[in-house]
Structure 1
Amino acid sequence: MVGNWQVAVRARPTRAGLLAVIALAMLPLAACSDEGRLILNTESGAHAFAVEVVDTAETRARGLMFRQELADDAGMLFDFKEEREVSFWMMNTLIPLDMIFIGADGVVKTVHVNARPQDPTSIPSQVPVQFVLEIPGGRSEEIGLEPGDTVEHPRIGSKAP
């Protein structure tokens, strides 16, 4: 056993072997980074956001509750897996948020700007949507986001899980 260990340690790995190990190690990161990046296309250009995806009843119910900050280029993408009317509220949410209601095709349907922290008032989508993106309050106005603009994400416009 000791002899085999010594041989393994002394053997020089090939460059191809090292590249294969590195590529395999990065696969989970690549999968996460694809789902973790979203683009909002507005008249002012393409705006990238780092997003968390929530797609179960439990994770959607918690959302961004109790978070005390959210970076300007961060957000949460809610995937309801089918188009339907949805409604949100801000109870237990400590930061103002913009809610962007998005169809399965990636088209922005409606935008609710600066939802007030801790407000229990319902914020409805007004139309059937499959996705809702929450970003920092006021950010959608800063980038000029309007209904009709488009969203790019691996789940949007595809049959992703």
Structure 2
Amino acid sequence: MAHRNRLTAGAICAVMAVIVASGAYFYSQTPSAADSRAMVLPVDPAPLVAVTKSGDRSFSIEVADNEAEREAGLMFREQMTDNHGMLFVFEATREVNFWMKNTPMPLDLIFVGQDGKIRAIKQGEPQSEAVISPGEPVRFVLELKAGTAARDGIENGDLLRHPAIGTASGPGMPPADKGDTPSVESD
């Protein structure tokens, strides 16, 4: 009788092991929902430059310049390199509110005025539905990997330069060509 119970217990363990192994295999073969739903825009050919007290910092960026791109933003993105970000371009200076719902990585949100000057820097916590706002109207928002602003000495009052930003001209940057400005939708 004891021998039969051991065989039954062994068979149950073997079946459970096969079920667990099968589940692990199929799970590993299916792309995660985060990967399949993440929006990835082309990297803009012009770098974004942050002019700081300690020197210029360059970033490769994706430009979100229409409503659908701004709404999706970096949602579902699980990682991003240190010198990469997304620039949100709004059709006019206005109050903006962001949140981190469906965003699994922490971010620095840099709020920028029409003149290219940084107005506020806020931190976004992963998956949070708390409203993140600069407290004043802005025209642009730059999202970077969390800690990048502190690491690179980016502060309120610093200047961002990029062709999508009206004050793109300056040392090391060609003047902004109005014909090359990304299209934005109007309300």
When normalised by structure 1's length, the TM-score is 0.76
**What is the match of residue 33 of structure 1?**
45
In 2, Cα distance between the equivalents of 1:33 and 1:58?
Answer: 21
Structure 1 residue corresponding to 2:151, chosen from 138, 142, 145: 142
Deviation readout 1:80-138 (Å, 9 max, x if unpaired): 0210010100000010000000011100000003x110000000121111000000001
Unaligned 5+ residue runs, structure 1? 1-31
Residue 88 of structure 2 corresponds to residue 82 of structure 1: no
The one of 61, 71, 79 aligned to 1:51: 61
The alignment partner of 1:60 has SS state of helix
RMSD after superposition: 1.4
C-alpha separation between the residues in 2 aligned to 1:137 and 1:118? 14
Query: SS in structure 1 opposite 2:141?
Result: strand
Q: What is the distance in 1 between the residues matched to 2:54 and 2:84?
A: 18
Shift of 1:148: 0.5
Runs of 4+ in 1 over 3 A off after TM superposition: none
Task: Give the match's secondary structure for 1:155.
Answer: coil
Looking at structure 2, the residues matched to 84 and 38 of structure 1 have their Cα atoms a distance apart, in angstroms, of 22
User: Secondary structure of 1:140's match?
Assistant: helix
1:20 aligned partner: none
Task: Report the Cα distance in structure 2 between the residues aligned to 1:134 and 1:74, rounded to whole angstroms.
Answer: 9
Amino acid at match of 1:53: V
Q: Higher Cα Rg: structure 1 or 2? A: 2
* Aligned residues with identical type, % of pairs: 43
1:87 aligned counterpart, secondary structure:
coil
Q: Secondary structure at the match of 1:80?
A: strand
Unmatched runs of 5 consecutive residues or more in structure 2: 1-43, 167-175
- Provide TM-score, normalisation by structure 2: 0.66
One-letter identity of the residue aligned with 2:158: D
